[in-house]
Structure 1
C-alpha cells in the first residue's frame, strides 16, 4: 500500500486494543522516521493511549566493533553496527509477553553503555524505529511494518554542510549498505504500508 498523506488516527485503534501491538517504522537514513514517530506520539498522547517508543540506534555496539574491523565499510554498517542476534533474543522477542526488558543504551559521546530497565505496559502500541528493521532476524517480530520511502538525494540534502563534504564515506559505507538492504531484503515489497516522504 503506497500512501502520500498518512492518517495517524489509523494507528490509534491498534494502540487501544487489549494486547500489545508491535509497529516497525522502517526506512533508510534521513527518510523522516524520527519526525514521523514524534508526530505519532503527539497524537497518541492526546488520545491518552499507552505506547512506548524504541530507537534501534540506541543499541548499537561501540566503535571498535564497527570501525576498522578489516571488513568493507558497508558490511560494518549493515552487519556489525548492532549485535543482531542479541537484540532478537533480549529485545524483540521480549516485547511479546515480558513485563520488562534490560537494555544497554549507547552513549555516542563516551562510546559507553548505560543499562536501563524498562517496564513494559501489558497492552498498547510498541513502536520500533530505525534502519534495516526488515532484516531476516527481526522481520517476524512485528505486527505491522511501515516503510518511509525517500529519494537518496533528498535525504542527503538534509545532512549538515560539514557532513556533506564527506560524500565518499556515504558512497562506501551508508549508500552501499542501503543498496544491499534494498536488493537483498526488498523492504518496499514486504512492508505493509509505504509512505512517501
Structure 2
C-alpha cells in the first residue's frame, strides 16, 4: 500500500485553521491527544495536513508529495516494526538494520515509566502542571532514577573483580552528575569509589592531533596519552601506588601534584569520558575488570501519538542552558558548534553503545517544562540575521508546546 501511495505521487495539502477549530476537528477524529495538546497552544492558527482525505497535524517539515518518500524499508522487530529511512549523507540509500537490543530495552523501560506516571505526551504533562501535580511528578521521576542508579551500584558491588567503571555518553547526557550519584550509591553498598577524569591524560597541546581544518581535535582518541593512561591503570589494578596527573588547560601541559592513589580490596575507579566505552582506550585492562555504562537522555515523552520529540532536541536545549549558565556562552554559539559535537558522537560514542554492561536513561519526563524558562530568553537573543536563527526559531516554536514550570522542586543532585 505504501508503494502504491508513493507511485501515485499524491500531494500533501496544507490548510491553516483557527486553534479552536483544530481542537474541535481533533475531537471529531477522536485524536484526543492532539485535542489536549492544542488546548494549551497560545497561537491563533494551526496548520493541518491532509493526504488523500486523511487529516492530521505534524511537528516538523513535510515533503510536497508522497513521491519523495520512495527510499525506505520496513523491518519486523519485537512486538512491532521499524521504519528505516536514509540519512542526510546519502539520501537515496537506506542503511541496513542493525539490532540494538540494549538500547531497545532501555527505551521500553522508559516508556513503561511514562505510562506508570500517566504522562505519555506533552498534553498530559501540561495537564499535570496546570492541576498542581508538578512537585509530586518531579519527586516520583527522581525516585525512579535513584532506584535505577542504586540497582546499578548493587550489581557492581556484587562483582569483586570489577575495578574500573567506564562511563560514556553523548553531550549533555548528565555523565558527571550520574558519576557522582553512582559513587554515593557505591559507598552505600560498601565500595570505595575514586573519580578519574580521562581529560587529565591529554597529550601536551602541541602533540594534539588536528582535524581536516587544521584545528586541534580534542575529541580524537589520540588526543589522550594512551600509553601513560594504561600504565597507570595497570599499576593501580596490581596494587601499586600511582601519582595521578592533572592537566592544566591554560598551559596545555600535564602536571603532577602528589595526588597519590593505591587501591585496596574495596576500592574502585569511576572513569568518565567520551572514549570510556572504547576498549582501545584501556587496551591493557582485562575486560572482566571493567564495568561499562552508557548514559544518554533518551526522551520518552511524545508531542502526541504521531509526533515524537527528537532526543537530540532535548540534549541541545540542556547544552544551551548549561553553556549559558556555567560558561557564559550564547545560544547562538552553542547552536553553531552542535553539528561538530554530533559528528564527534557519531564517531566516538554511538559505535560502542551496545558493548556495555548496562544503559542508563537520564531523560526526565518533566525537564523541558523546567528548561523552557531558561532556554527561551537566550534563544530570543540569537541574531535574526545569523544562520543559527532558523534553528533558534524552530526550538522556540517547539518549546511553545510546553507550560513552563518552576525549578524550586528539582532536587539539588538532579541530573537536570
Give TM-score scaled by structure 2 length.
0.40
- The answer to whether residue 312 in structure 2 is matched with residue 152 in structure 1 is yes
Distance 1:105 1:121 in 2: 22
- Given that 1:15 and 1:50 are in contact with CA atoms closer than 8 Å, whether structure 2 keeps it comes out as no
Distance across 2 between alignment mates of 1:17 and 1:91: 22
8 Å Cα contact 2:275-2:348 kept in structure 1:
yes
Asked if 1:78 is matched to 2:246, the reply is: no
Please, what is the CA RMSD of the aligned residues?
A: 3.0
Q: What are the within-5 Å matches in structure 2 for residues 80-99 of structure 1?
A: 80-88=222-230, 90-99=231-240
Segments of 5+ residues of structure 2 without an aligned counterpart are 1-101, 111-144, 298-310, 363-416
Question: How far, CA to CA, are the matches of 1:29 and 1:36 in structure 2?
Answer: 13
| 2:267 alignment partner in structure 1 | 124
Tell me the distance in 1 between the aligned counterparts of 2:314 and 2:269: 29
Question: Does structure 1 residue 39 correspond to structure 2 residue 181?
Answer: yes
Structure number with greater Rg is 2
Are residues 1:179 and 2:346 paired?
Answer: yes
Determine the C-alpha separation between the residues in 2 that align with 1:70 and 1:35.
30
Q: Is the 8 A contact 2:153 2:189 kept in 1?
A: no
Which has a greater percent of strand? Answer: 1
The 1:48–1:109 alpha-carbon spacing in structure 2 relative to 1, beyond 3 Å, is: farther
Contact kept? 2:156, 2:291, Cα under 8 Å: no
Q: Deviations over 1:49-95 (max 9, x none)?
A: 3222212123223443337x46455955223431223322x233334
Aligned mates of 1:70, 1:7 — CA distance in 2: 37
Q: 1:17 to 1:194 in 2, by over 3 A?
A: closer
CA distance in 1, matches of 2:157, 2:193: 7
State the alpha-carbon separation in 2 of the partners of residues 92 and 35 from structure 1: 23
> Once the 2 structures are TM-superposed, how far is the Cα of residue 35 of structure 1 from its aligned partner?
0.7
- Distance in 2 between the 1:75 and 1:105 partners? 20
Number of equivalent positions: 192
TM-score (norm 1): 0.77
Q: Match for 2:338 among 154, 158, 170?
A: 170
Question: RCO (CA 8 Å, sep 6+): is it higher in 1 or 2?
Answer: 1
1:112 corresponding residue in structure 2: 253
8 Å CA contact 2:149–2:182 kept in 1: the answer is: no
Q: Give the structure 1 partner of residue 305 of structure 2.
A: none
Deviation digits for residues 136-183 of structure 1 (CA, Å, limit 9, x no counterpart): 4136635221100223332232232315322333323x3212111246
Note if 1:190 corresponds to 2:339: no
**Corresponding residue of 1:55:** 197
- Which whole-Å CA distance do the structure 1 matches of 2:227 and 2:332 have between them? 35
